[in-house]
Structure 1
Amino acid sequence: MFGTDRLPGLATGLTVTDEAGWVPATDLVDGTRLPELLDATRQRWGATAHAGAALAWKSYTYWLALPVVLGWASARRVPLLYPADVLVHFEEQRPLLSFGLRRSTGVAVLPSDPLALAGPPEVRVVADEAELLRTLRASLLDAHLTPLLDAIHAEVRIGARTLLGSVASGVAHAVLRAADALPGGSAETIGTLLETLDVADLIDLVPGPSGELTVQRKTCCLAFTLPQPKICAGCCIRTP
């Protein structure tokens, strides 16, 4: 999709063969090791507690969702990212977060997909497009991101709308950056995914300088509060 199999936030080939140093996402979702991730974020950027949580969540949700977003958009194949099947690496010498999947991770497909007939046992065949989207939501949002958001709220006071805005922005950016390799229209693809995840009201798609679609956020990731402030493209606090 991106012309490479080396992306900073994803394990090569997505699957992890040696789990040494990797943490199952269940340890973050249940709060066990979440403080370590939040502390790493604060130390790296000198962020306040709530800004560090917002930036950790922004990175986490972007890289976690990327295989799901592009899998659905390009081939209607959805990796099922239940926390027990997702592995996370966070160390100083790496990007803040890297994700990998266990080899046992399931993938949902349509009946017309060749994997439905000859795929490995991890393949889950769903009835139709609507069920595929419901399955996407159930594994990514309901089983993973929502409980992680609750765990963050147990550590830091920060609004759910602020955090979910980064989910909406990350999904939209992922689609737009791969638009040339995806079938169908970007706006329609983004709209379908955001409606599925109930975050469609948190961004707008607006024309950029050359008429290309760009993302305008309605919430802020709080990067502007860092000791070295950053105003992201499409930030809701940007002024003319």
Structure 2
Amino acid sequence: MFGNSTEIAGLAPDLLVHQEAGWFRATELGNQKLDLLLENAGRRWNAQPHAAAALAWKAYTYWAALPAVLGYASARRVPLLSSENVLVNFNDPRPLLTLGLRADIPVAVLPNDPLALTGHPRIRVVPDEEALLAELRRTLLDSHLTPLLNAIHDRVRLGKRTLLGSLASGVAYGVLRSADAIPGSSAETVTTLHRALGVEDLIELVPDQFGQLDVQRKTCCLAFTLPKPKVCKGCCIK
């Protein structure tokens, strides 16, 4: 999904970053790099501070969660996306920012995974799927996104429910857009991930005009407040 043959604006070309020059750890986004993130978002969308913060969070959480979301959904392999293991840069003007993973990032797997037998120091074997999902939540949400959410909330007083709605939406879109590469039910996968992250009440999966699953949000990313208002497809204000 993340090989060299497919470049995805927003992610490092092969997902892993082997040369960290020009990158910084995601831990810095919650403190010294937060102003830069919000200023870049404000310029990009010509947005007021609260809208710039909401849209920056929406973009960041989509890309930050995607490797764990798709790793779990496709192979029950979860890269441990704590903020120390995620790298960020602002070098590519196409996306708001680009994310990559440290080359030595640990990956959590189940006991029946072939990687569990390798004894590789990067492989963390957990006993069952409940524990795997707990590791996903602990590293992605508790030790990575929640500190950033709190920093943004303190800076612009955006509601935490509003922000978590974008996380819920991003997780759902990540699964639905990759449905062809994911075994089993997309709806069940989204529900499982949402419950693990505690965001299960913030979106609904609804059929679109072609009968395919789509996302209906219960909170708003504030794109409608832009000088050229944008109402997202699944926006709750329509």
| Matched residue type, 1:200 | E
- Structure-2 residue corresponding to 1:35: 35
Shift of 1:95: 1.2
CA contact (8 A) 2:46 2:226 kept: yes
Shift of 1:101: 0.7
- Structure-2 residue corresponding to 1:221: 221
What stretches of structure 2 of length at least 5 have no aligned partner? none
Shift of 1:2: 7.6
Query: Structure 1 residues 64 and 47, CA, compared in 2 at 3 Å: closer, same or farther?
Result: same
What stretches of structure 1 of length at least 5 have no aligned partner? none
CA contact (8 A) 2:2 2:13 kept: no
- TM-score of the superposed pair, with normalisation by structure 1: 0.95
| Matched residue type, 2:107 | V
- Structure-2 residue corresponding to 1:12: 13
| Matched residue type, 1:14 | L
Shift of 1:93: 2.3
Instruction: Name the count of aligned residue pairs.
Output: 237
- Structure-2 residue corresponding to 1:74: 74
| Matched residue type, 1:18 | Q
Counterparts in 2 of 1:172-187, with a 5 A limit?
Answer: 172-187=172-187
| Matched residue type, 2:213 | L
| Matched residue type, 2:73 | A
Q: CA–CA distance in 2 between the matches of 1:122 and 1:96?
A: 30
Deviant stretches of 4+, over 3 Å: 1-4
Query: Structure 1 residues 221 and 116, CA, compared in 2 at 3 Å: closer, same or farther?
Result: same
Q: CA–CA distance in 1 between the matches of 2:92 and 2:41?
A: 10
User: What whole-Å deviation, never above 9, does each CA across 1:108-135 have from its counterpart, x for those lacking one?
Assistant: 0001011101152111000111100101
Q: CA–CA distance in 1 between the matches of 2:21 and 2:86?
A: 14
Question: In percent, how many aligned pairs have the same letter?
Answer: 63
CA contact (8 A) 1:2 1:178 kept: no
Counterparts in 2 of 1:1-240, with a 5 A limit?
Answer: 1=1, 4-29=5-30, 31-91=31-91, 93-118=93-118, 120-238=120-238
User: What whole-Å deviation, never above 9, does each CA across 1:20-48 have from its counterpart, x for those lacking one?
Assistant: 2212101113x121111000100111100
| Secondary structure, counterpart of 1:210 in structure 2 | coil
RMSD (CA atoms): 1.3
| Matched residue type, 1:20 | A
| Secondary structure, counterpart of 1:201 in structure 2 | coil
CA contact (8 A) 2:79 2:107 kept: yes
